[in-house]
Amino acid sequence: MRLIDYGVRDDEKKYIEEWAKINKVEVKIVQELLTPETVELANGFDGIVAYQQLPYDPVVFDKMNEYGIHVISLRNVGVDNVPFEALKKNDIRLTNVPSYSPEAIAEYSVTGLMALLRNMKHMIRKVDQYDFEWAPDIGRELNQLTVGVAGTGRIGRAAIKIYEGFGAKVIAYDKYRNDELDKKGMYVDTLDELLKQADVVTLHLPSLGKGNTVINAKTIAEMKDDAVVVNTGRGDLINTQDLYDAVANGKLYGAVLDVYENEVGIFNTDRTDQELDDKLLEKLIQSPRIILTPHIAFYTTKAVKNMATISLNSMVDELNTGTSGNEIDLDK
């Protein structure tokens, strides 16, 4: 069995090499992304493993079929950048890593919220300038707030446990209710109800499709004054301009954003001493009430190892048995 792994970062490499040695499988490691040009490197291999934020070009899957490769295994959970029709046309199966560390993302979302509630971004900037005054950066306590968790999958449920530990009141919304949370009476009936009742809205939802935002001018108008938005889910859940305006004019207290609707091509790149073409992104960075990080909520040693190894295990299952527990239903 010969596998090729695309878009491999330095922090992933050792886990892939360890897996290959333990499982006695040849894995060619490629730093480049999977494109119509680089897919030619896969000729002669049995399966492709990949991760990238950019869309996968349908030509890639035509080439895979030509090379007799009929499985692609993603090292991440999101599949919205994969053209399913091109997969079906070429009889290619797809797997992902549905859960690499829910706790990592849940912990990060709460960490960002706590930093925002205590005005740490602004206070650190003040201290860097030798300004040691307290005011006006008085904080808020999480135990006094109602947290609305939108999306109660693995990550949302992990976040709920943490919020409950802080003593916050937690309400939740999900189209598909979790039985345990439902028994506790935690759910509200609609997302609108959650937005209206919550002091903190934390998003753990999948993408709802381009233009289908949860946070926008209309929904913000219905939210509590001084509410907080936390997003470690998908950037396109938020109309970021509307969010920024609401923070700037004082309607919302602030926001924690680990994802951004226009992040592709910017996040995980070094722009030191360069001008940003994205003026909205510049405003987010400069705002004392917006904490922005470059899609790193998942980024822990445990999660990176799981992404690297689970994707390879799924690939082996697919090649040996024709299926795996992480195979994506392309017709849904």
Q: The tokens 């004019």 sit on which residue?
A: 249
Yes or no: say if 100 and 310 are a contact pair by the CB < 8 Å rule.
yes
Q: Is 261 a catalytic residue?
A: no
Phi/psi for 269 (5° steps) reads -130, 155
Q: Is 125 a catalytic residue?
A: no
Q: Which of 154, 263, 289, 318 is catalytic?
A: 263
Q: Which of 234, 261, 289, 318 is catalytic?
A: 234
Q: How many whole angstroms separate alpha carbon 291 and alpha carbon 258?
A: 8
What b/e readout covers 287-310, taking b as 16+ CB neighbours within 10 angstroms?
bebbbbbebebbbbeebbbbbbbb
Q: How many whole angstroms separate alpha carbon 137 and alpha carbon 126?
A: 10
Yes or no: say if 307 and 299 are a contact pair by the CB < 8 Å rule.
no
Q: Which of 70, 154, 289, 295 is catalytic?
A: 295
Closest among 214, 208, 235 to 293, alpha carbons compared: 235
Q: Is 234 a catalytic residue?
A: yes
- Catalytically active residues, by annotation: 234, 263, 295
